[in-house]
Amino acid sequence: MTKPNPKATLASPLTLACGISIPNRIAKSAMSEQLADRHGSPTTDLQQLYAAWARGGAGLLITGNVMIDHCAFVEPRNVVLDSAEFLQANKLWAQAAKANGSKIIMQINHPGRVAVLPLLKKPIGPSAVGLDLPAMNIIRIPRAMTEAEIYEQINRFAQTARLAIEAGFDGVQVHAAHGYLLSQFLSPLANVRTDKWGGSPENRRCMLIETVQAVRAAIGKEKILSVKLNSADFQKGGLSQEESIDIALALEAEGIDLLEISGGNYESPAQLGYAPDRSAQRDAYFIDYATALRKQSKLPLMLTGGLRDVDFMNHIVANGTVDLVGLARPFAVQPDLAKQLLAGKSVLKPAKIPAIGYKPVDAYLQLAWHASQFRRISSGQQPKEIKGLVRTLIAFGPRMGFNILTQD
Residue 126's CATH number: 3.20.20.70
For residue 373, tell me if it sits in a domain.
Answer: no
Is residue 5, in this structure, part of any structural domain at all?
no
Please tell me the predicted confidence (pLDDT) of residue 362. Answer: 77
- Report residue 253 CA to chain centroid gap: 22
Query: How far, in Å, CA of 118 to CA of 99, rounded?
Result: 35
Residue 144 lies in a domain: yes
- Is residue 387 assigned to a domain? no
Number of H helices, E strands in the chain: 14, 14
Among residues 246, 228, 341, 345, the alpha carbon closest in space to that of 286 is found at 228
Residues 6+ apart with CB under 8 A from 158: 211, 214, 215, 217, 218
Q: Which residues of the chain have pLDDT under 50?
A: 1, 268-272, 274, 277-281
Cα dihedral: 261, 267, 273, 276 (round 10): -100
Q: With contact defined as beta carbons under 8 Å apart, do 66 and 106 qualify?
A: yes
Kindly state whether residue 25 falls inside one of the protein's structural domains: yes
Look up the domain containing 160 and give its range: 14-350
Does some domain include residue 82?
yes
The answer to whether residue 166 is domain-embedded is yes
Number of domains in the chain: 1
Q: What is the pLDDT of residue 7?
A: 82
Would 198 be classed as within a structural domain? yes
Q: How far apart are CA 296 and CA 15, in angstroms?
A: 21
Tell me the three-class secondary structure of 240-298, residue by residue: CHHHHHHHHHHHHHCCCCEEEEECCCCCCCHHHCCCCCCCCCCCCCCHHHHHHHHCCCC
* pLDDT value of position 16: 98
Task: Specify the pTM.
Answer: 0.93
Q: What does the alpha-carbon distance between residue 92 and residue 94 come to, in Å, rounded to a whole number?
A: 5
Q: What is the DSSP letter of 85?
A: G
| Residue 21 bridge partners (DSSP) | 15
CB proximity list for 294: less than 8 A, separation 6 or greater: 1, 2, 301, 320, 321, 322
